[in-house]
Amino acid sequence: MLDVNLKAPEHYINRELSFLDFNRRVLAQAHDTSLPLLERIRFLGISCSNLDEFFEIRVAGLKQRLELGTSAGGPDGMTVPEQLSAIHTLAAALVKDQYELLNQLVFPALAEQGSRFVNARTMSAEQRAWLSEYFAKEVEPVLTPLGLDPARPFPRIQNKSLNFIVRLSGKDAFGRDAELAVVQVPRSLPRIIRLPASQQFPGVTYFVFLSAVISTFVAQLFSGMAVEGAWQFRVTRNSDLFVDDEEVDNLLRAIEGELAERRYGAAVRLETSLECPEDITTFLLRHFALTRDDLYQVNGPVNLNRLTAIYDLVDRPDLKYPAFTPSIPKRLIAREEVFAALREGDLLVHHPFESFAPVIDFLRQAASDPQVLAIKQTLYRAGPQSPVVDALVSAAREGKEVTVIIELMARFDEAANIQLATRLQEAGAHVMYGVVGYKTHAKLIMVVRREQGRLRRYCHLGTGNYHPNTARIYTDYGLFTCDEAIGEDLHELFLQLTSPTRVATMHKVLQSPFTLHEALLDKTKREIAHARAGKPARIIAKMNALIEPQIVQALYQAAMAGVKVDLIVRGICALRPGVRGISENIRVRSIVGRFLEHSRVYYFHNDGAHDMYCASADWMERNFFRRIEVCFPIENPVHRDRILEDLEVYLADNTQAWELGADGTYTRLTPNETPPVNAQSVLLKRHAENPNA
């Protein structure tokens, strides 16, 4: 084996730049004319919301480090200033692409399909008259123009809110010269407005952005003054919550306090309309303490996320993906009681190809079954009006012992989770918030049932959240089991989450922050030993992100020893495949398609013994060392073969797959002379035609 320094920076890809590359792959879906039009618009919106969160969390974190005097980088060696400079270059190009796509492709394509957007220049006299009345009745009453002068300082601007800065001339009612004013737009107003049907063009549906309406009629807010111009702007702020673990005595109250301040965190990005004058942008940058590298000027509405509303406003199923009905495992169809079905053996489900309904039925039956004594569950994201929470509330009211571990620090779902916690507590459930300093990211349900004089534990372990809506658009695996060893492991794990206790010795489950990282390194070393002994050796891993340095180095060592390594990494990947003498045996691909690839699967050939796990954890430092994660074995040979077959389909995809090169760039694969393979379509068809037992 070559004597190389596997810690050398050139062997790592910067995580921030890797994320921006992932977001470009998302935006490529919006460019893909083979996709239905409204789905392309949805991908455009996703790329914008992804970028928002990137600035709110990642860029904000880099700026904080710079303010604290820390400029050192990570394994890739890029300093913080170098990262911020590179981020601006790539993000500016991405934003430019987003708006070119909007103006040159999306708007014309929508118009061809009978849906047109108008603005001040293109609206008809009839439309202008209707919008003038709409502005007077629906918009103006909730707007509060704020003049800027020594007695009226610049108002506080909420994170990602729509605002206008207006240049004025003339004197106001008190004889004062007025030059600038700010108009803040409440979030309660719809950002896209459908216009009445036009008699002149009866087959066309017209829409207008709220920003265009305000721009057109803003002068009505400043009676007696001349409006020289009005330009929209939006500020993105640091939205990461900080709770000092050592100072907190009430986690819920601490987070509630942080949430109130999140809207007004430090500014990290300024977006303005493209035509905003230089002196106005300079004024705004100075006010928000930002530099030119923090400025993004856009040719359209400053928040393209709002465009996704058109998906529901346009009633055109032909412009969307064909509807599908997730299948139900045959064994659950044959038996009304889920517990009886599970006593026949483990049950594996693959969302969204298979329905999330069995999970809800599992909880509902547990809630109403007089033999069920207790239900314990973790909740990271559950969504509003959650049937999962409904079932837990029902169980608590039925007198079951219900314990729910709710992660209050689930990013951007903190407020929703606080409401869920309150509702569950009011129903009589025991609500805990896990372990301070460690996010509870594991996806677990344990039902304790009395059967024939003894207690039996029925469990569900998953790779994704207990969220019925995302279960239709995220790919995830879930395992139902009444295996005694796994039941004992979950019992110990819930004890860790609810009470002071020792680190448990698990029988089958691997857990962060205690055993998962070390176990993966050991299993990789075992593959290396097999390869050196001349035996077949292979690793296949599917996840959302791969950046943890020790894991990356272990994979390099495996590749150098002759282990074949296939990685399916949807988003961030710090590893460089295909580097001569180091990672020539590693392939990395990213699948970006109709569904968000969210499942985590780890497979080790193990000299033909086929060691396979599903998990809630990506291969990141936070997942290994700062979160409570669970990795569970797939022991049923039928289930193991089925997942392995799924992985091989993903590795054969040549229509939605992107391959990572040694230079850090991704190339979209095309069928060329081979038959086209779309992994998600293959799995949809397979489950529709042959539901699993």
Q: Angle, to 10 degrees, between the axis of helix 549-561 and the axis of helix 516-532?
A: 10
**Cα–Cα distance, 32 to 40 (Å, whole number):** 7
3-state secondary structure 242-288: CCCCCCCCCHHHHHHHHHHHHCCCCEEEEEEECCCCHHHHHHHHHHC
- Contact by Cβ (8 Å): 565, 647: no
Using N-to-C axis directions, what is the helix angle for 414-427 and 387-397, rounded to 10°? Answer: 20
Q: Which residues are catalytic?
A: 441
Report how far Cα 469 is from the mean position of its chain's Cα atoms: 13
| Burial classification of residue 564, based on how many CB atoms lie within 10 Å of its CB (0-12 exposed, 13-18 middle, 19 or more buried) | middle
Given a contact cutoff of 8 angstroms between Cβ atoms, the answer to whether 565 and 553 are in contact is: no
End-to-end CA distance of the chain: 46
| Token digits of residue 154 | 């610049």
Whether the bond between 387 and the residue before it is cis, its omega within 30 degrees of 0, is no
- Count of other CB atoms within 10 angstroms of residue 512: 23
Q: Return the structure tokens found at 406.
A: 């709710």
Tell me the β-bridge partners of 567: 541, 588
Classify the phi-psi angles of 51: left when phi > 0, otherwise alpha if psi is within -120 to 50, otherwise beta. alpha
Separation between Cα atoms, residue 131 and residue 494, nearest integer Å: 57
Distance CA 630, CA 643 (A): 18
| Residue 470, phi then psi, degrees to nearest 5 | -70, -20
Helices 251-262 and 414-427, interaxial angle, to 10°? 140
* Distance between CA atoms of residues 171 and 648, nearest Å: 72
Whose structure tokens read 């789905």? 39
Answer for the pair 349, 463: CB distance below 8 angstroms, yes or no: no
Residues 164, 145 contacting (CB under 8 angstroms): no
Backbone angles phi, psi at 661, to 5 degrees: -100, 170
Peptide bond into 676 cis (omega under 30): no
Amino acid at 458: Y
* Owner of token pair 């980088």: 73
Annotate 380-423 with DSSP letters as a single string: S---TT-HHHHHHHHHHHTT-EEEEEE-TTSTT-HHHHHHHHHH
Spatial neighbors of 692 by CB under 8 A, at least 6 apart, are 327, 329, 330, 348, 349, 350, 354, 642
Asked whether the beta carbons of 533 and 527 are under 8 A apart, the reply is no
- Which single residue is written with the structure tokens 């074949």? 564
